[in-house]
Structure 1
């Protein structure tokens, strides 16, 4: 008769951890915890789902507390009475759910764009404002629709565009940008940047949100943010098409803000002999993790409280 040995029961803890930490698919963590009561206890007690989560997304180590607004009263009493096993189970369920939700961003990506926040400069505000980049069409009514920087004599002068994403917690996989072809100028020039770089992050404080709401769009805002991720530099083609800039790995944006840094100016204007950058459309692909997960109280250090609504998964 064939003998079956449960390695979780017989191996030392470190060896068992070494085996289970090689799991890649978050669904495998859930399956492992479902094998038996012993396996579930081992997975939860050793925080395997949390360790896997932090290994893939180290910025999650800044979570200071997890809140569950829809936690039942009975469960809250368990928590307040220091039920360590209940707390371990909740941690396991939370991190396993978060990891699984993040991992689906590649196969179930959607539009993550929220609204336009600021441009570092605008030539003719509001007619050539950043808000025009939210629509794919290069026309609005009978007129053109695009954002334009101010003209500059230096072809290397950069510009930035800042956007709020759909949620404070998003997993971003790619950003798409279409330069604007100025069809009403002779030769239909395309005022693209030479290259582009992306940053993801959050406001320095909640006070800055009020600043963004109440101060004019032309007021600079780059210093109001902390950028926790900076991409490599991507080359942009001087072509009138939606160009895809895929990040090497999906990036977790905590705070929900995107900065697009437009580097270099490819086209000089024949009218005033200055260099401009004009953008028709910006699209952000990924997966918003709301309403199941939300972010609260982001500190300057990057520490934050994460809200978990399990009923939305």
Structure 2
């Protein structure tokens, strides 16, 4: 005779919830929901997957609602059919999202798609933010870098904004290389003192559709975004190298845009005694979660609608597994590069391009 006892049935609901809500591994929640029908019902109705997700990403509590592209068979249980179906849907979405997040941190790739804007540019478009997408400090026999405008006050910050490869991305680290002015006496390095990062989405769908089409923008665009996450400040060293800024925990970017804030100017330019910040290259490391997850900005509230496509989850996880092995063969491409008012030029490059590190500029130019 089977005498097994389900201890969860013997506990009061509050006590059982206080025990299971402390599960920190998404796999543990999935395993708990598979113990029995009673456990599954308890896990789903108490939104344990959602609770874990919001503990990891509290800045995303403003997600208004979730759409799952395919409806699945209903099991009303002890709840009304509509409420039970809603609970099941949210459990499925948050559990799948947590699975994708855990998987994507195992391998990573560059997540930047386009440069959007900078708070200031000293010599636009020759020193545009678009230059930071080139993984070299020299391109076509000239310096390749973004330069801020000069300032008397070294405390005035600068920001750079980038569009990521998908509306929903996991970000694990950001890499930044300050620019060494090899054509100036002493080869000064125009780094910042500190850096921090924000992720978010446009204020409205109309801004994304109308104002964020032809990139990069010639003017600052910081007021066009809602930032849902802000990192701590990281110290930057005054060295000509690709510096890694690893986030304490992977962050989920809902909206597909990242802002880099550069604070503290450490280098004056001798010719005008002004402080500048110059960056030669930026990389954002993580993994896009499209096509399994996408979003839509709701009007007029500006809130976020998260979309989940379960049939694409396997494809997304497979891309995550394959991305690291294919990274060395990846060729970086810029579709649009702005060269003043004459229009757009197209070019591409790869990491095997050979540069002469000893070549010098014939024409002196400053940041």
Same fold, judged at TM 0.5 (above): yes
| 1:42-87: CA deviation from partner (whole Å, max 9, x where unpaired) | 2122221112112222233322222123x15x759x9xx9544343
Contact 2:132–2:145 (CA under 8 A) maintained in structure 1: yes
Q: Partner of 1:157 in structure 2?
A: 156
Q: Partner of 1:269 in structure 2?
A: 269
Residues 60, 259 of structure 1: alpha-carbon distance in 2 compared, 3 angstrom cutoff: closer
Question: Could you tell me how far apart the structure 1 residues matched to 2:276 and 2:26 are?
Answer: 46
Q: Partner of 1:147 in structure 2?
A: 146
Larger mean CA deviation between 40-49 and 275-284 belongs to 40-49
Q: Partner of 1:225 in structure 2?
A: 225
Residues 302, 247 of structure 1: alpha-carbon distance in 2 compared, 3 angstrom cutoff: farther
Q: CA deviation at 1:3?
A: 6.1
Q: Partner of 1:256 in structure 2?
A: 256
Contact 1:177–1:283 (CA under 8 A) maintained in structure 2: yes
Q: Partner of 1:127 in structure 2?
A: 126
Question: Could you tell me how far apart the structure 2 residues matched to 1:12 and 1:302 are?
Answer: 40
Q: Secondary structure at the match of 1:200?
A: strand
Larger mean CA deviation between 2-11 and 219-228 belongs to 2-11
Residues 60, 221 of structure 1: alpha-carbon distance in 2 compared, 3 angstrom cutoff: closer
Q: Partner of 1:47 in structure 2?
A: 47
Q: Partner of 1:186 in structure 2?
A: 185
Q: Partner of 2:137 in structure 1?
A: 138
Say what the alpha-carbon RMSD is for the aligned residues. Answer: 2.5
Question: Could you tell me how far apart the structure 2 residues matched to 1:135 and 1:2 are?
Answer: 67
| 1:188-214: CA deviation from partner (whole Å, max 9, x where unpaired) | 111111111222221111222212335
**Superposition TM-score, scaled by structure 2 size:** 0.77
Q: Structure 2 unaligned runs (5+)? A: 314-367
Q: How many residues align?
A: 308
| 1:218-274: CA deviation from partner (whole Å, max 9, x where unpaired) | 222111112222222221110011111222222222212111111121111122222
| 1:148-202: CA deviation from partner (whole Å, max 9, x where unpaired) | 1122222222211111112222222221111011112221111111111222221
Larger mean CA deviation between 295-304 and 3-12 belongs to 295-304
**Superposition TM-score, scaled by structure 1 size:** 0.89
Q: Partner of 2:28 in structure 1?
A: 28
Question: Could you tell me how far apart the structure 2 residues matched to 1:300 and 1:142 are?
Answer: 49
Contact 2:127–2:147 (CA under 8 A) maintained in structure 1: yes
Q: Structure 1 unaligned runs (5+)? A: none
Contact 2:62–2:303 (CA under 8 A) maintained in structure 1: yes
1:58 aligns with 2:58: yes
Q: Secondary structure at the match of 1:213?
A: coil
Q: Partner of 1:241 in structure 2?
A: 241
Q: CA deviation at 1:4?
A: 4.1
Question: Could you tell me how far apart the structure 1 residues matched to 2:93 and 2:284 are?
Answer: 26
Residues 217, 87 of structure 1: alpha-carbon distance in 2 compared, 3 angstrom cutoff: closer
Question: Could you tell me how far apart the structure 2 residues matched to 1:265 and 1:271 are?
Answer: 16
1:297 aligns with 2:319: no
Q: CA deviation at 1:25?
A: 0.9
Q: Partner of 1:38 in structure 2?
A: 38
| 1:108-150: CA deviation from partner (whole Å, max 9, x where unpaired) | 3332222100011112211111011112111212222111112
Larger mean CA deviation between 158-167 and 299-308 belongs to 299-308
Q: Secondary structure at the match of 1:167?
A: coil
